[in-house]
Amino acid sequence: MRKCNGIIRKNVRQLDRDISNLKILDQKTKKYILDASKRGQKNPSQAKQAAAETRIFARELIRVRRQAARLNTSKAQLQSVQMQVNEAFSVRKIEGSLKASTSIMRDVNTLVRLPELTGTMRELSQELMKAGIIEEMVGDTLPNDELLEGEDAEAETEVDKVLGEILQGRLGKVGAVQEEVQPPVEEEEEEDQEATLAQMRGRLEALKS
């Protein structure tokens, strides 16, 4: 029981660190959106480029928030597993026997497939099998593309909602300027935008690996 609890606490601490990092990334992405919006308002010649950047950063913010929501859900499941494991060991003390738990096996099977938890959750599953709490090994890790399915195709309405939340009415002004001024996008500006976006995706992928 002590070993199982130790493994679970280790996973919870890791999830807490990842969630904290995502909160920082959330704040940075909001700042990128605000900075791009301000630049577009101050310099009409850059309005089109600034409006495009705000939407790109908004999509990245949606990805960050979805990742954070998934990790928070995983943390809640992990804490539920800990409660169930401790309860199972307590029942064994009273009744002198231990029955396999299908609910624990189901939750562990879900958690072990997450890239953030795969290694230590496999270790936990082995300990639970030794104790007789679960009866079989858990499934394989979900591939990253399956975990992120649908995250690259955010609806424009969701992007608009995020921008409305952050810009608080300034989105309309940016859009109006964009319609009035349609300068060609400079190649250098496109490269800067892609470089910033690549850095943000790198931070998010690092949290998933």
Number of domains the chain is built from = 1
| pLDDT confidence bin for 176, thresholds 50/70/90 | very low
Q: What domain range is 167 assigned to?
A: 2-208
136: left (phi over 0), alpha (psi -120 to 50) or beta: beta
Which range has highest mean pLDDT (6-20, 80-94, 164-178)? 6-20
Top pLDDT among 202 and 134 is at 134
R_g over Cα of the chain: 23
Euclidean distance between the first and the last CA atom of the chain, given in angstroms as a whole number: 28
Question: How far is 31 from 58, CA to CA, in rounded Å?
Answer: 11
Indicate if the pLDDT at residue 71 is higher than 80.
yes
Q: What is the pTM of this model?
A: 0.70
| pLDDT confidence bin for 22, thresholds 50/70/90 | very high
* CATH number, position 122: 1.20.1260
96: left (phi over 0), alpha (psi -120 to 50) or beta: left
